[in-house]
A = this chain, B = another copy of it.
Amino acid sequence: MCEANAYLVKDGEESLIMESVDIVQPEEGGTWRLVSIFGEQKNVKARIKEMNLVNHRILFEEDAG
């Protein structure tokens, strides 16, 4: 399976938002909807900082604005 883990980067530290993310979709207001392979859903108000698919990592960072 090729899902990825989503992390929030803050002050140089990564905290796990969700494991095994399958779907990433933009919502209104600078929010991203994450859906895991288990059907779990979460909305994250943050910017995408980087995605590294081979390493199964999606990094978000809080919007400075």
- Establish whether residues B1 and A23, one from each chain, have CB atoms under 8 Å apart when the complex forms: no
- Establish whether residues A48 and B26, one from each chain, have CB atoms under 8 Å apart when the complex forms: yes
Which residues of chain A (1-42) have a CB below 8 Å from chain B?
1-4, 21-26, 37
Given A2-B2, A2-B56, A56-B2, are A50 and B22 neighbors across the interface (CB < 8 Å)? no
Residue of B nearest to A26 (CB): B48
Could you tell me how many residues of chain A have their Cβ less than 8 Å away from some Cβ of chain B?
A: 20
Which residues of chain A (32-65) have a CB below 8 Å from chain B?
37, 47-54, 56
Assembly CA distance A2 to B23 (angstroms): 14
Q: Chain B nearest CB: distance from A21 CB in Å?
A: 7
- Establish whether residues B25 and A51, one from each chain, have CB atoms under 8 Å apart when the complex forms: yes
